[in-house]
Amino acid sequence: MGCLSFSLQDVPPDGLHVAREVGKEDLQLEEDYPGIRDVLSLTATIRLEDSEFWVEGELKGFLVHECVRCLGEFTAPANISFQARYRDPHHRRARRKGTDKSEGDQDPDEVESYPVVKQRIALHDLLREHVILSVPMQPLCSDGCRGLCQTCGHSLNVSTCGCEETRTESPFAVLRAVRKSSSNRLA
């Protein structure tokens, strides 16, 4: 695993190119979620621009999710790109005093900004947040996942169970029925 914190002095005028592997201990993901299979490979560039540092890059690899239907774990490719700026809070204050800018001047492009701390740029928070944001709201192991039997909890992806089939209608079928009756009423 590589260190994810860079000294400002190590950023050359034409930018610092970073390529390294990132493990879950680097990202300090809460409760290990999402899980990382092996490591993620990080490529990024850190550039100085107008007394701010721009960080742009990608994280690639595989993440382990839990399926919302069958609760099984599955692995899916992750291809996460990110962009952020890092500011030295001291610089900022000095500039504000000079130009007397109003409080809360928003970034027009809404790129996230992180502080430069002790003359270093640390990527941990940035990367962790992007990994978490990349997780789908409702992870599914496959579109056709059959989920668990509502009676005995058996995974119907593995085999059918002996329970009586009391499968509820798909919500889409219900929707279609509603549409049909309302269009009949209109006709």
Residues near Zn ion (CB under 5 A) are 67, 69-70, 141, 145, 149, 151-152, 154, 161, 163
Token pair 């050359």 in the structure block, residue: 12
Between 152 and 186, name the residue whose CB sits nearer to Zn ion: 152
Please give the Cα distance from 139 to 76 (Å, whole number).
10
Between 71 and 94, name the residue whose CB sits nearer to Zn ion: 71
Run of H or E including 116: none
Please give the Cα distance from 70 to 140 (Å, whole number).
8
Least spacing, CB of residue 34 vs Zn ion, in Å: 15
Least spacing, CB of residue 60 vs Zn ion, in Å: 24
Between 170 and 183, name the residue whose CB sits nearer to Zn ion: 170
Least spacing, CB of residue 175 vs Zn ion, in Å: 23
Instruction: Please list, in sequence order, all residues whose beta carbon lies within 8 angstroms of the beta carbon of residue 152, skipping any fewer than 6 positions away.
Output: 161, 162, 163
